[in-house]
Amino acid sequence: MTQLPVLNLSSSATATIGDGRRASLPPRHLADLDLAGRRAAVVDLGEQAFRAGQVSAHYFGRLVRDPAEMTDLPAGSRATIAEALLPALLHPVSELSTDDGATRKTLWRLHDGSLVESVLMGYPDRVTVCVSSQAGCGMACPFCATGQAGLTRNLSTAEIVDQVVWFAAMAARGELPGCPDRLSRVVFMGMGEPLANYNRVIAAVRRLTDPAPEGLGLSQRHITVSTVGLVPAMRRLTSEGLSVTLALSLHAPDDDLRDTLVPVNQRWKVAEVLDAAFEYAARTGRRVSIEYAMIRDVNDHPWRADLLGRLLSGRLAHVNLIPLNPTPGSKWDASPKPVEREFVRRLRAAGVATTVRDTRGREIDGACGQLAASSGGKVGERQDGLLARRANEETQ
């Protein structure tokens, strides 16, 4: 059997980052804990348990993280509690924006120097944030920029949650013109394979969906978890009783091709991965989203559309075609529009609901598969029409 690329399904938290230092999980933050855990932590500090609810209401309810603004806490307790439960986790390095400010990509430096990116997408009726669940990714899909550098480490629960809270605060301050001031959707489609960091991602989903002050109070239905198809983890997700949307990055309906486009297919084949997805759909009643990047002359043949149509016909699934986004050094292009239209036509003829993703953020390397989290001199060297500004570091 072919040796698979790094398939790090364990919860190992350390890896060597670029300069040889060990990457490690960050200090504990209140978003790592449920409310009971936060109460215990506050009591450990010699404070009264109900202070945990107060500080949680600031962070999740008011989207406030500055202890000076927590005036219902005694002045003497604020610093102690903030130091123990609200360490700064995400340090903004740069922000790129396009679509008149409605699409923004932030590059964050984590406490150990690891870099990750998040993308905000504002629409007239909703605000969506695309979060990273790992620094880097071990899945090695050849068409995805994130996969090229390998996995640095898993993100902690709070590092995931804080990406959302950060943007929710930005929306609440009215900084997204023409968009609602409430962030409502989260997609785990940034850097990393969410199901390879299973426990922390599930805890993050709970924090995002628990009502304030325990969590951010988003609807489970407005959260999408995307996976390359780690079958045991998909089955585990099915048993959680959550009603998040599951997206499966399929990209090929046949094992021969999928073995190369999504190397984890060497371990879990198309039939098995689709079975696990259909089981999730059956258990939750939620339609699964089948992600399919359209790559010219690679996976866009009419016979592949027909095969995909047969595999999905009559199932609780819809296909989301993603025109391939360019990545550095890749020899592949997006399929020509007529080829894409024929692919859509054949899928629909087979009775499969199909949409083509409105890809946002390509000009800022913020679209699907383009997140590489490199800071090297890119900011300020962008084409016209882009606002590229260096955010103040250490603003937290």
Q: Which residues bind ligand SAH (CB under 6 A)?
A: 139, 141, 143-144, 189, 193, 226-228, 249, 291, 293, 322, 324-325, 327, 368-369
Nearest alpha carbon to residue 322 among 141, 86, 95, 58: 141
- Candidates 290, 265, 6, 269; CA nearest to 154 is 6
Give 296 or 315: the residue with its C-beta nearer to ligand SAH: 296
Minimum distance of ligand SAH from residue 228's CB (angstroms): 5
In terms of CB distance, is 95 or 193 closer to ligand SAH? 193
Q: Is residue 368 among the annotated active site residues? A: yes
* Catalytic pick among 137, 141, 144, 368: 368
* Min CB(191)–ligand SAH separation in Å: 8
Contact 94, 390 (CB under 8 A): yes
Cβ proximity to ligand SAH, 41 vs 368, nearer residue = 368
Distance, CA of 110 to CA of 89 (rounded, Å): 6
- Residue closer to ligand SAH by CB (options 139, 312) is 139
Phi, psi (rounded to 5 degrees) for 90: -115, 120
State the catalytic residue, choosing from 117, 159, 193, 291. 117
To ligand SAH, the closest distance from the beta carbon of 257 in angstroms equals 14
Host H or E run for residue 152? strand 151-154
Q: Which long-range contacts (CB under 8 A, 24 or more apart) does 145-148 make?
A: 145/327, 145/328, 145/365, 145/369, 145/370, 145/371, 145/372, 146/191, 146/192, 146/369, 146/371, 146/372, 146/373, 148/327, 148/329, 148/372
Q: Which residues contact 188 (CB under 8 A, 6 or more apart)?
A: 131, 133, 194, 201, 223, 224, 225, 226
Minimum Å gap between C-beta 205 and ligand SAH is 14
Asked if 45 and 179 touch (Cβ cutoff 8 Å), the reply is no
* 156 or 370: CB nearest ligand SAH: 370
Nearer to ligand SAH (CB atom), residue 141 or residue 242: 141
C-alpha separations of 365 from 33, 115, 144, 146 in Å: 33, 15, 12, 11
Whole-number minimum distance, CB 201 to ligand SAH, in Å? 10
Q: How far is the CB of 242 from ligand SAH (least distance, A)?
A: 17
Please identify the residue of the shown chain whose CB is closest to the bound ligand SAH: 369
Amino acid at 329: G
Contacting residues for 353 by C-beta, under 8 A, at least 6 apart: 287, 317, 318, 319
Measured torsion, CA atoms of residues 226, 232, 233, 235, in degrees rounded to the nearest 10: 80
The residues annotated with a catalytic role in the active site are 117, 368
